[in-house]
Amino acid sequence: MNTYWCELAWLGGEQVEAGVLLEIVDDRIAGVVPGTPGPVPGAETLNGLTIPGLVNAHSHAFQRALRGRTQGGAGSFWSWRERMYELAATLDPDSYHRLARAVFGEMALAGITHVGEFHYLHQAPGGKPYADPNEMGKALIEAAAEAGLRLSLIDACYLAGGIGKPLEGAQLRFGDRDAAAWVERVAELPENRALRILGAIHSVRAVPPDQMGTVAEWVRHQGRELHVHLSEQPAENQACREAYGKTPTEILAANGVLHDNLVAVHGTHLELSDLALLAGAGARVCLCPTTERDLADGIGRAAAMREAGIELALGSDSNAFVDLFEEARAVELDERLASGARGAHRAAELLGAATAGGALALCWPGAGSLAVAKLADLAVLDLDSVRLAGTRTEDLLDAVVFAAAPADVRHVMMGGRWIVRDGAHVSLDVAGELAGAILR
């Protein structure tokens, strides 16, 4: 057993607790004792604020290579997508592995212990399968293990280039023959203690309605979550109405997809009737505010989602920015811009979306909180940084959510094992690996 005395810790309430003793056995928390005077003999002292490891519920690791390369000139999501396709066409299993390992290392430095990697880059150029049809997915699995992160590989079914359109160009790398072939391929991916295999319908644009049920049924049978990009763009809603006379959410409902294991990603342009359908099914929504902002997608109805009873998770998506604190506060701050009012979301709710909410969306119910029997995944924040120095204990949760940054992360533990110490990854030169992978 390893014992740690936390100067301050967030145990899930509206305030932080002082003097919390954590006992860890193997990869689990065996004891949590708040109000313990310290330092405690035999226990390592963790100065600062200890929080559960952050959970990044939606990532496309390879898109990190676009950072800084798509900001010039006018454009939209659709013009950005063409640049993304150009990048996707260049990757092979080795380069994908190197890039993803570096990106996952960057996430670890930002306090993230779990990532949901939304994976659709399956095939070789031209759509030809690799000898091992899951070679690209296995590159991601190895990359996460080497970076020390827990991984939910969200393998996406991607069959069409748009509603009624065939795959073309770089999209050919994304496709399986049909949903049954997707099931056959994904069923060959084994899980382990740090890996879950989840499924995805990439979007209503990319999977015809008559194929959705096959994907949804298999994922539900596995007891896993099903993710889907949903109503990210007004053009998606318009095309869906023109083709089917329904919203994308209504299409999911009509084809057996809308269940309590569904995680809708983005949901930027959901209608109120769509929110009612999602809430009635017990579905979740994963918001990715920095990407939605970067791509000019719009501002999602986060307050309306909460009022409908929809639980939220957060993701870094395109990884133009890897900062779950920013994702959390952006939910509130972006909504302030849209509504002209403050205070729709409390700090504890936002940090909960970045921890326990993401853990549930990624099928890790044993993660996301500092509690007995939960996974020993945590991050320790430096309270002497220029962003947090001088904060009163009673204001600390608000200060962390609305001002903290990855630079404030001192230590990170995943499964009882340190992966970041004193602000540095224990095994990776993350900046060097990022530069090497991206510039190559």
Measured N-to-C along each axis, helices 324-339 and 396-403 cross at an angle, to the nearest 10 degrees, of 90
Q: How far apart are CA 350 and CA 77, in angstroms?
A: 26
Residues 6+ apart with CB under 8 A from 18: 7, 8, 34, 35, 393
Is 266 a residue of the active site? yes
Give 111's strand partners: none
- Minimal CA–CA distance to 414: which of 139, 151, 141, 47? 151
Give 5's strand partners: 21, 45
Residue-level length of the chain: 440
- Minimal CA–CA distance to 252: which of 302, 203, 310, 325? 203
DSSP letter string over 352-416? Answer: HIIIIIHHHHTT-TT-SS--TTSB--EEEE-TTSTTTTT--GGGHHHHHHHH--GGGEEEEEETT
Q: At which residue do the structure tokens 């791509």 appear? A: 295
Rg (CA), the chain: 21
Q: At which residue do the structure tokens 């890039």 appear? A: 99
Q: Out of 155, 294, 297, 317, which one is annotated catalytic?
A: 317
Judge whether 269 and 230 are in contact, CB under 8 Å: no
Q: Out of 60, 266, 345, 425, which one is annotated catalytic?
A: 266
Judge whether 283 and 308 are in contact, CB under 8 Å: no
Q: Residue 33 phi/psi, 5° resolution?
A: -125, 95
Q: What are the respective helix, strand and coil percentages of the chain, to the nearest 5?
A: 40, 25, 40
Q: Residue 179 phi/psi, 5° resolution?
A: -65, -35
Judge whether 84 and 49 are in contact, CB under 8 Å: no
- Minimal CA–CA distance to 303: which of 327, 278, 338, 351? 338
Is 317 a residue of the active site? yes
Q: Residue 320 phi/psi, 5° resolution?
A: -60, -20
Q: At which residue do the structure tokens 């072939």 appear? A: 181
Q: How far apart are CA 132 and CA 151, in angstroms?
A: 20
Q: Report the catalytic residues.
A: 266, 317
